[in-house]
Chains A and B, each alone.
Chain A
């Protein structure tokens, strides 16, 4: 089965979504990520969606839920690299990702997580 790789760097888990997300893939990522947060005792999760040219309500909800689950597991999530056209579409769709931290790129995302990763 297809899987999106999760890389660990210290207390950070890095996910770079490079493929066109279908629903099952999104659900698998959510399961994998929550397991890895606990296993690695991660404090931060960075999800790079710069290669995603579509984020619909399902994937948006997955992002929202993943961030909420990570928070309950004592990890902060930052979504990085959203394309401008995707941002416009998401908000028009009605999904504002309230409660999810965002940054323009990986570097800024890591800076946002800051002390949590030390």
Chain B
């Protein structure tokens, strides 16, 4: 996880390649979408749903992953001032998975542990977004630096 965000080797496509899984490089398996408006959040939910169906996640896992994506997309939009999200399909031997990386260049998070605590919010929300999203996925990584931005990575594997 070191220098996920600000290391010299930083690139979105490389992020999902971590954890001994390899991201496909085919164009249909990797894409980046903007997150600047409410409509972009809706478009992301639709994409994540379609891809979750493609790799045959169970309905509950589909719903959990789409919901986590929706929470994080909203964070990027509201707290990060907009950004983008990269999607990639993962393959780890016999298992398939989906990876999303949310990036913004917003104010960043000073205390990540506090931000992950249920009920904590810097805005007007319920404070369930970050911690809630973490509970809904299989892998969760976050890196943030005040003044430079935030990167959040989530992965869901087909069981």
A residues with a Cβ closer than 8 A to B are 20, 22-25, 53-58, 60-61, 83-86, 88-89, 92-95
Determine whether the beta carbon of A56 is less than 8 Å from that of B71: yes
* Interface membership of B82, Cβ < 8 A: no
Determine whether the beta carbon of B38 is less than 8 Å from that of A24: yes
**SS class, residues of chain B in contact with chain A:** helix
- 29 A-B residue contacts at CB 8 Å? A20-B42, A22-B38, A22-B42, A23-B38, A23-B74, A24-B38, A53-B49, A55-B67, A57-B128, A57-B129, A57-B132, A60-B126, A84-B60, A85-B63, A85-B64, A88-B60, A88-B63, A88-B64, A89-B63, A89-B67, A92-B64, A93-B67, A93-B135, A94-B126, A94-B131, A94-B132, A94-B135, A95-B126, A95-B132
**SS class, residues of chain A in contact with chain B:** helix
* Interface membership of B5, Cβ < 8 A: no
Provide the bound-state CA to CA distance between A24 and B45, in Å: 16
Determine whether the beta carbon of A89 is less than 8 Å from that of B136: yes
| Shortest distance from the beta carbon of A29 to any chain B beta carbon, whole Å | 14
Contact partner of A22 (CB less than 8 A), chosen from B39, B60, B131, is B39
Which bucket holds chain B's interface residue count?
A: 20 to 34
Q: Which residues of B contact A93 (CB under 8 A)?
A: 67, 71, 128, 132, 135-136
Determine whether the beta carbon of A54 is less than 8 Å from that of B63: yes
Contact partner of B71 (CB less than 8 A), chosen from A20, A24, A57, is A57
Q: Which residues of A contact B64 (CB under 8 A)?
A: 85, 88-89, 92
| Shortest distance from the beta carbon of A89 to any chain B beta carbon, whole Å | 5
Provide the bound-state CA to CA distance between A105 and B62, in Å: 23
> Per-residue CB proximity of B131-146 to A under 8 Å, as 1/0?
1100110000000000
Q: A23-B41, A93-B67 are in contact. List 16 more A-B contacts (CB 8 A).
A: A54-B45, A54-B49, A54-B63, A54-B67, A57-B128, A58-B70, A61-B126, A85-B59, A88-B60, A88-B63, A88-B64, A89-B64, A92-B64, A92-B135, A93-B132, A94-B135
Q: Which residues of A contact B125 (CB under 8 A)?
A: 57-58, 61
B residues with a Cβ closer than 8 A to A are 38-39, 41-42, 45-46, 49, 59-60, 62-64, 66-67, 70-71, 74, 118, 125-126, 128-129, 131-132, 135-136
Interface core residue of A24, A25, A60, A85 (most chain B CB under 10 Å): A85
| Shortest distance from the beta carbon of B124 to any chain A beta carbon, whole Å | 9
Determine whether the beta carbon of B71 is less than 8 Å from that of A85: no
| Shortest distance from the beta carbon of A38 to any chain B beta carbon, whole Å | 24
Q: Which residues of A contact B66 (CB under 8 A)?
A: 53-54
Interface core residue of B59, B62, B70 (most chain A CB under 10 Å): B70
